[in-house]
Amino acid sequence: MTTMTAATVPATTSARATHGTVTPKEADALQRTGRAVIVDVREPDEIRRVALSKYIPAPSSVVRADCFPPSAEGMRMLILCQSGNRAGQVARALAAAGRTDISVIEGGIKAWQAAGLAVTAGGGSIPIIRQVLIVAGSMVAGFTALGVLVNPWFLTGAGFVGCGLAFAGLTGICPMAKVLGAMPWNAPKAPPAGAPGAAASTGKSCSAGGSCGCG
């Protein structure tokens, strides 16, 4: 079963053609009055740095339509990401699967902060994508130096890293991001008290994966 990335939905599909959108202030009001739940599809390292006071975590790199949090009758599921891009991709995939209770929060967490709405800032490590680039770049430089100074066979290591990055770009699956995401400094931030967890909300689990996507 595939995760809900850009590759799983038509690139030409209009966001507004398959789901609704709400402004951050509208989303905040809907959640405060019990008419909606916010689902944050950003990755754990992103949520560590800045998060809402109440949300359901559902990283877009691993969540699928069949295990996306359900909503109570009459409630909307408002999808939040960094800037709106990933939320739109997830919403289109859900709409294609038959969900009609989905809306995207316009502009993502950036627009939420710009609107002066409350967030919890936690600091934390640098983004996973930058960690991947640092590690991959260091490995290529190291293998190249060893290939020139010690033995040409070390150059195959640089080629292996390059193939791994190409695979990640083509498929949206990055094994290195998955490994780095499991490191202690990238431990996911637990949802705040009162915020339901994704597993409890869905009753299902999604297979783990690593994503190098941003947006």
* β strands within the chain, DSSP E: 20-22, 36-40, 50-51, 56-57, 76-80, 102-105, 120-121
Q: What is the pLDDT of residue 62?
A: 78
Q: Which has more pLDDT, 62 or 165?
A: 165
The per-residue pLDDT for 13 is 34
* pTM recorded for the entire structure: 0.63
Q: What is the mean pLDDT of residues 72-94?
A: 91
Please give the domain boundaries of the chain with CATH numbers for all domains: 6-124+188-202 (3.40.250.10), 128-181 (no CATH)
For residue 45, the model assigns a pLDDT of: 78
Whether 65 shows a pLDDT value over 50: the answer reads: yes
Q: Is it the case that residue 86 has pLDDT exceeding 80? A: yes
- Helix/strand/coil for 144: helix
Mean pLDDT of 146-160: 95
Q: List all residues 6 or more positions away from 140 whose beta carbon is below 8 Å from its beta carbon.
A: 158, 161, 162
Using an 8 Å Cβ cutoff, are 39 and 78 in contact? Answer: yes
Compare 64 and 80 and report the one with higher pLDDT: 80
Nearest Cα neighbor of 56 from 40, 67, 74, 44 is 40
* Angstrom distance (rounded) from CA 168 to CA 175: 8
**pLDDT for residue 15:** 38
pLDDT, averaged across the chain: 79
Who wins on pLDDT, 45 or 131? 131
Segment (H or E) for 207: none
Q: What is the mean pLDDT of residues 176-192?
A: 72
Read off the pLDDT band of 155 (50, 70, 90): very high
- Positions marked catalytic: 81
pLDDT at 198 over 60: no
